Structure 1
């Protein structure tokens, strides 16, 4: 995977490149995590070099990054699993705590581990381009779908009157807006359920929306 793009936010335009990340990118990838998840987010949850080493050796096709004018600006990581819609799981269980040692080379689901873009570059639509590139990877590898657990950071504002499932339904219908789930819907993802106890996340009340994109070339 390597492609060049022109990206714009309406006022600035830049040249971007999406490619597979490598060992020489590790320092910048950890810096992106630190910028994207500042304190009080615990620094021990940022990528570490042992995790990144597993990504580039175990499943490089799932290790994508994007640079803008030569500076690394974001990344997206995935692994292959075989999962059914009824499988309950947490992020740690699905991704081996981000180490992806549970990667299944023939797994039918391309499962998103992480998506991260430096705050200064988010207006350029890089997250959407990374997701589209991972859709292309799913097609290239013959996976039947792309799946992720998306945070629901707006849920805590409605938790006193809505279940997580009801909240997700309201967001999908456009009656409520969620910063993450609404973004994923705009990227072509479809909500298929809620994973409870997915990740320690006060804003989401530890829930995540299971967001799916189906490969249109596989029935």
Structure 2
């Protein structure tokens, strides 16, 4: 029996159907199912599989979250994080380099920032607030660990449909102004993240024309000054 009920709950839907818990080794196949459903355009080399998810739990178990559907008894959404020391003046990096080829071997115990390697909500569960639950759990972890904040390379998945009409800089600017809606970046901006810069050749995904958008959420518990920049 999968004893999700015995695990600490980090966030919960109001009706109690969905709960955020730390991922468990026996969830690896469910986490893989979510990954593949969420990123059909991502190259096979960059997709995470059961072995990756199990390895993540060995590296940094606190940073691995799953949204569990109590009704259907399955994983509905998930996120993967690691700790890093980030130089905000030199943020551009290929995704696979930053996450150690999806092994999280780059994780820095005691690192100052939480880095979002992955987040996904299975298409069958979208528009039910599950990404809100996951971002809340991640930000709570940042505050609990006293980190500077949460950073990630967002995938501007809607850019492919606009690439013929505008450069990526204009697209991101218009998404930030809420003139355009992006299925990924718009969600993150509503969660309090801010655009820091654009990363070319971030990953192998045609839907975003291989771009990433470096986003930053700063821990409000820290008294920010120049020394925290």
CA distance in 2 between partners of 1:4 and 1:173 (Å): 30
| Superposition map of 1:40-55 within 5 A | 41-55=42-56
Shift of 1:167: 1.6
* Secondary structure of 2:136 counterpart: helix
Match of 1:126 in 2: 130
* Secondary structure of 1:76 counterpart: strand
* Alignment RMSD: 1.8
Match of 1:170 in 2: 174
Match of 2:5 in 1: none
| Of 43-52 and 16-25, the range deviating more from structure 2 | 43-52
**CA 4–147 in structure 1, closer or farther in 2 if over 3 Å, else same:** closer
**CA 162–85 in structure 1, closer or farther in 2 if over 3 Å, else same:** farther
CA distance in 1 between partners of 2:85 and 2:128 (Å): 33
Which of 84, 94, 106 is the equivalent residue of 1:81? Answer: 84
Match of 1:159 in 2: 163
> Is 1:54–1:101's contact at 8 Å kept on the other side of the alignment?
no
CA distance in 1 between partners of 2:135 and 2:212 (Å): 18
Tell me the number of residue pairs that the alignment of Structure 1 and Structure 2 aligns. Answer: 213
Shift of 1:161: 4.5
CA distance in 1 between partners of 2:11 and 2:156 (Å): 32
CA distance in 2 between partners of 1:121 and 1:54 (Å): 26
CA distance in 2 between partners of 1:173 and 1:118 (Å): 27
Match of 1:190 in 2: 194
> Is 2:64–2:79's contact at 8 Å kept on the other side of the alignment?
yes
Say yes or no: does 1:66 pair with 2:67. yes
> Is 1:14–1:68's contact at 8 Å kept on the other side of the alignment?
no
The normalised TM-score by structure 1 is 0.89
CA distance in 1 between partners of 2:76 and 2:134 (Å): 11
Say yes or no: does 1:5 pair with 2:12. yes
Shift of 1:44: 5.0
**CA 176–97 in structure 1, closer or farther in 2 if over 3 Å, else same:** same
Unaligned runs of 5+ residues in structure 2 are 1-7, 225-229
| Superposition map of 1:105-124 within 5 A | 105-124=109-128
Shift of 1:140: 0.8
Shift of 1:142: 1.1
The normalised TM-score by structure 2 is 0.86
> Is 1:4–1:15's contact at 8 Å kept on the other side of the alignment?
no
**CA 34–60 in structure 1, closer or farther in 2 if over 3 Å, else same:** same
**CA 41–213 in structure 1, closer or farther in 2 if over 3 Å, else same:** closer
Unaligned runs of 5+ residues in structure 1 are 8-12
